[in-house]
Amino acid sequence: MKLEHCSLLSHNTFGIDVAARCFLEYNSAEELGRLIADRQITEPYLHIGSGSNLLFTKDYDGVILHSRIGGIEVIDETDESVWVRVGAGVVWDDFVAYCVAQGWYGAENLSIIPGEVGASAVQNIGAYGVEVKDLITVVETMNMRGEIVSYPVEACAYAYRDSLFKRSDMKDVFVIYVCFRLSKIERYTLNYGTILQELENHPNVTLEAVRQSIIAIRDSKLPDPHVVGNAGSFFMNPVVSRAQFEPLQRQYPRMPFYEVSENKVKIPAGWMIDQCGWKGKALGAAAVHDKQALVLVNLGGATGADVIALSDAVRASVCEKFGIDIHPEVNIV
């Protein structure tokens, strides 16, 4: 499908009203190959998933590409594990729901994260102690020469919300399929935040109970993008050295933190923003969410510039109070 001068309003969960010169959607790897061969994909271009981690600041004078490659196919199976190959355009949570229904363990903590499978592998989505890199085995891509190249997970340079595919020199590499390994043996990751507490509402710990608990926790904190525009966490949680962390911890003994390595500690940016008094505060049509300060929301009609102005003000406060520069997690276009 090709649309000229296309509104992007329904293609970004922040609900920013901008347009693209051209919007191209393809249903298969072969169709993507044809678009490349026919030179339909001209510079500048940008591949998007469901636009749940994007902030548009202006009209896009180029080609926006969107994959609709579908399918969830079992490619191998043992008594312990199952390997599945999933199209980049599959809605992430449809895949999680499928795994839970099949009795495959591993993806349930990533329930109802917005977005699609291709973008999940680019962004290394994560929640409640699990990152998608823990499940990925291979990422299949097509480049702008039409070549198919598969990257084993070890080659994907996965880190916190980061991967090889986010590097600027990988801009012409498009994810077409992602292969995952799930466990057929019962195992859960339950030691994060309030999961165990939430599970007390269920008679037994089952895959479905864990999924429902995660959904309940997320629903209680994160705004529904269908109701109020947002892109989930706006900032990344900063990772600081222990030398920087220790004096802060003395000053703020109740500051939550996660150990990253012997010398590194991750501090929740949401907590710091909250401490700065930003929770629920608005600047123009953009606001800090009143239940989770890491999330910025569009109160209605906000422009990308409104959100950036709020983000800059929040960053300046955090830097002034804690001496830490926080960085956006969303892609600003």
Question: Could you tell me whether strands 2-7 and 19-26 are parallel, antiparallel, or unpaired per DSSP bridges?
Answer: antiparallel
Site string for ligand EPU, 286-325 (x = CB under 6 A): ------xxx-------------------------------
User: Considering all CA atoms of the chain, what is the largest pairwise distance in Å, rounded to the nearest integer?
Assistant: 62
Would you count residue 116 as binding ligand EPU (CB under 6 A)?
no
How many residues of this chain interact with ligand EPU, rule: CB under 6 A? 19
Residue 228 structure tokens: 């109020």
Would you count residue 213 as binding ligand EPU (CB under 6 A)?
no
Beta carbons of 129 and 191 less than 8 angstroms apart: yes
Among 16, 35, 99, 127, contact with ligand EPU (rule: CB under 6 A): 127
Tokens 């329904």 sit on residue: 10
Residue 47, SS3 per DSSP? strand
Residue 268 structure tokens: 């929740």
Shortest distance, CB of residue 325 to ligand EPU, whole angstroms?
Answer: 15
Tokens 């003000």 sit on residue: 313
DSSP bridge partners of 82: 77, 182
Catalytic, out of 68, 85, 161, 218? 161
Q: How far apart are CA 22 and CA 4, in angstroms?
A: 4
Residue 181 falls in the annotated catalytic set? no
Residue 323 structure tokens: 């001496």
Q: How far apart are CA 253 and CA 44, in angstroms?
A: 48
Would you count residue 233 as binding ligand EPU (CB under 6 A)?
yes
Would you count residue 216 as binding ligand EPU (CB under 6 A)?
no
Q: How far apart are CA 18 and CA 60, in angstroms?
A: 8
Instruction: Pick the closer one to ligand EPU by CB: 100 or 326.
Output: 326
Site string for ligand EPU, 242-271 (x = CB under 6 A): --------------x-----------x-xx
Instruction: Pick the closer one to ligand EPU by CB: 45 or 322.
Output: 322
Catalytic, out of 52, 120, 163, 233? 233
Would you count residue 158 as binding ligand EPU (CB under 6 A)?
no
Instruction: Pick the closer one to ligand EPU by CB: 82 or 217.
Output: 217
